[in-house]
Amino acid sequence: MIWDAALQALSPYLLLMTLGGVALGIVWGAMPALSTTMAMALLIGLSAGMEQDPAICFLLGVYTGSVFGGAISAVLINIPGTPDDVPTMIEGHPLAKRGEGGQALGMTIAASFVGNWFGIVLLIGFIPLILTFALSFKSWEMFLLAVIGISICGSMTAGEMPLKGWIAGWIGMLVAFVGLDAIHGVPRFTFGRLELLDGINYVAVLIGLFGLAEILRVLPQRQPYSIPAEVGRVVPPFRRLARHLKAAFRSGLIGTVIGAIPGAGANVASFLAYDVGRRRAAPEERAKWGKGSYEAIVCAQVAQNANIGGSMLPTLALGIPGNAPAAAFMAALMLKNVVVGPTIQIDHPGLIYFIYTALIIANFLMYGAAILLIKPCVKLFSLPRGLLLPLIVPICVIGAYAVRLSMLDVWIMFAAGVGGYVLQAFRFPLAPIVLGVILAPMADENLRRALFIFAGEPPGFVFTQYAGDVLLIAIAAIFLEGVLRLRRAPRKT
Amino acid sequence: MAIDPPPAISEERSGQAPAVLDLIAAAFLVALSILVMIGAARMEVPDALATAPGLLPFLTAASLGVMALALGWQALRRRPGAAAHEGAAPDTAELRRTLMLAAIIGCYLVALEVLSFEYALVVGPQRLLVGSFELVSTIVLTSLLAMFWGRPLIACLAVSAGWILALSAAFRYVFRLPLPG
């Protein structure tokens, strides 16, 4: 059955559709402020007029392409396409400033390719095992996972002051509480404004914090920095790739498993792999982290892309989307009368193999298309900042508006941009705010569900959840390490 | 047992600020956390306390307040003015240009909110829509380019008109998405 699916997906028409999706996805993702979720959501409409197979190939191409495309703007102009690209931005942009933008992107492509493969292979080979592990995550564990995501991000992005990173993450959580409470429907911090009942959209916050704040910071400078237009070698040498194989393997495993946990998403995966990678790196490599490390890029990108395969697992097998783009893919399948879930193999025999094959083909095409697109992208983004950054302003406006067709989101983007500029002046990191906004609803709902389930149990009952215990230890380790770092900080001054 | 934490890495502009800035931030955050805690405590509780809508907002604000106090305490322990990292504050001229840029973008959004019109240009068989987004965006982008790119006005106008038309065509006709304004 798998060979039939492969032959079908390799037909010239479907190859063309996949390539079209990949190219569109890369260009979309490379535009600052346009995210993978937005691409998937908007292009469902475009795929609605297609037959089932071309629509699947096209959307998987868009998904794969846009996940990589987000890294292009992150590396070259310091504005990530998605929250998952923040670690790549932290490491890749210093390399681009040193004239190694081409190589950084080359490494990003190679890592994306490896990550995609990793996710697909694990998806095919270990479906029952990964699903068993992922489904042992219930409300309490999901709450702890959200806290881990925010804390790690805070710890990783604030240098010698992890406290500021955690504060930023907590601010993001407070922002996310605005709107109707998901369990009882009680309005929270809406100040009587009907527009706020729908809550604050994280895409608008992301665009404001990273897009507009960067424009406000860089454009008024007398001599804004520029990216050297010389690209140099793009495809990374095999020896350099081989040096990071261990990190790639570890990050791929993290990305796939996190992807398989419904709701966790690539943002948690990339930060977790980035954090674990930093702890496990050799001392000479570790010294480069935060200043432009190729190994760090490998960790973040492999995890982020392995997450695609991982997120398909609960989507297809259980009908529970692993993340927002996977939910959009599920919606596109529903438009074709394909109801995903445990009976997919009975209702649509062979479809699951077709999707795997299409994902593999999209991965190969992404690699080729990305290599071809790197040089033009570096040339484009090395334009003078005085020309390039004003052109991004209308994209930020459209990007914020497009999610819910609401001017309120545009104003939220503006407020986040100004707020981000002020927070940067006070030397707070911005990435944890976005993670806080994204993960707070998951933390809120799951904490309350868990407390409801635990009601009536003895106080020690909470420690009998083994996966939860592991996560509790992880949280304790993150905060302990942060406190140790914080205690060292004043001595430096 | 001594635990040796891995070396600190960070976003480009985060970390320790001058003590006075950290103190201001701490004071603001403590005030914010108190306000949020009051708001969360006043929220309706339809069911048990464990599922109260204000539970996590309250806990988050309380822990934010504790962290803000720790930040303030850290700042007080440092000598005043010590650890003022380079680039912590932009110079006055740069700050003025930033404020001007933010004001222009703010006016741009007000114009998009207030002005709402759309004209249809018939070009052969095609009806091309040109609305307030195209007009307002072209004007704002031309002025931004004139200020920060420093080329002749006609070049700025040509670039901005071309860019806005390309963007609006892509969103209106390919992605079938209404534009603001």
Average the pLDDT over each of A5-9, A56-60, A360-364 and give the range with the smallest value: A5-9
Residues 6+ apart with CB under 8 A from A108: A68, A71, A75, A88, A92, A297, A301
Identify whether the C-beta of residue A408 lies closer than 8 Å to the C-beta of residue A153: no
A399 pLDDT higher than 50: yes
Q: Which residue has the tokens 């080979």?
A: A125
Task: Tell me what pLDDT residue A25 has.
Answer: 87
Alpha carbon distance A155, A87 (integer Å): 12
pLDDT band at B65 (very low <50, low <70, confident <90, very high): very high
Per the structure block, which two tokens stand in for A191?
Answer: 């100040």
Alpha carbon distance B11, B153 (integer Å): 37
Q: Which residue has the tokens 């020896």?
A: A239
Identify whether the C-beta of residue A305 lies closer than 8 Å to the C-beta of residue A68: yes
Task: Tell me what pLDDT residue B70 has.
Answer: 92
- Residue range A275-299: average pLDDT? 86
Angle at A13 between CA A12 and CA A19, to 5 degrees: 85
Per the structure block, which two tokens stand in for A363?
Answer: 């991965």
* Domain residue ranges in chain B: 19-77, 92-174
- Residue range A169-184: average pLDDT? 92
Average the pLDDT over each of A56-65, A317-326, A379-388, B4-13 and give the range with the smallest value: B4-13
What is the per-residue pLDDT across B28-47, written as a single tens digit (0 to 9) for each?
999 999 999 999 999 988 88
pLDDT band at A404 (very low <50, low <70, confident <90, very high): confident
* Nearest in space to A27 (alpha carbons), one of A50, A61, A78: A61
Q: Which residues of chain B lie closer than 8 angstroms to A225, CB-CB?
A: none
Per the structure block, which two tokens stand in for A117?
Answer: 């493969």
This complex has an ipTM of 0.89
How much is the mean pLDDT over chain A?
Answer: 82
Task: Tell me what pLDDT residue B2 has.
Answer: 39
Report residue B170 CA to chain centroid gap: 25
Task: Tell me what pLDDT residue A224 has.
Answer: 63
Among B8, B53, B112, beta carbon nearest to A186 = B53
Nearest-neighbour CA in chain B from A48: distance (Å): 12
Nearest-neighbour CA in chain B from A328: distance (Å): 15
What is the per-residue pLDDT across A251-268, written as a single tens digit (0 to 9) for each?
998 888 887 776 566 778
Residues 6+ apart with CB under 8 A from A344: A316, A317, A338, A351, A352
Nearest-neighbour CA in chain B from A389: distance (Å): 9
Q: Which residue has the higher pLDDT, A456 or A263?
A: A456
* Radius of gyration over every alpha carbon of chain A, rounded to an integer in angstroms: 22
Task: Tell me what pLDDT residue B4 has.
Answer: 44
Among B53, B90, B137, beta carbon nearest to A188 = B53
* Nearest in space to A260 (alpha carbons), one of A296, A187, A210, A311: A311
Environment class of A376 (CB within 10 Å of its CB; exposed 0-12, middle 13-18, buried 19+): exposed
pLDDT band at B10 (very low <50, low <70, confident <90, very high): low
* Nearest in space to A157 (alpha carbons), one of A420, A482, A431, A478: A431
Residues 6+ apart with CB under 8 A from A153: A86, A165, A169, A267, A271, A431, A432, A435
- Residue range A282-296: average pLDDT? 85
Which amino acid appears at position A228 of this protein? P
Among A189, A398, A449, beta carbon nearest to B171 = A398
* Nearest in space to B148 (alpha carbons), one of A397, A215, A396, A378: A215
Task: Tell me what pLDDT residue A493 has.
Answer: 43
Nearest-neighbour CA in chain B from A169: distance (Å): 10
Among A174, A290, A384, beta carbon nearest to B36 = A174
Q: Which residues of chain A lie closer than 8 angstroms to B175, CB-CB?
A: 42-43, 45-46
**How many Cα atoms sit within 13 Å of B118 on the Cβ side?**
10
- Residue range A324-345: average pLDDT? 75
Q: Which residue has the higher pLDDT, A127 or B81?
A: A127
What is the per-residue pLDDT across A405-425, written as a single tens digit (0 to 9) for each?
889 999 999 999 999 999 989
Task: Tell me what pLDDT residue B152 has.
Answer: 93
Q: Which residues of chain B lie closer than 8 angstroms to A184, CB-CB?
A: 44, 46-47, 51, 53
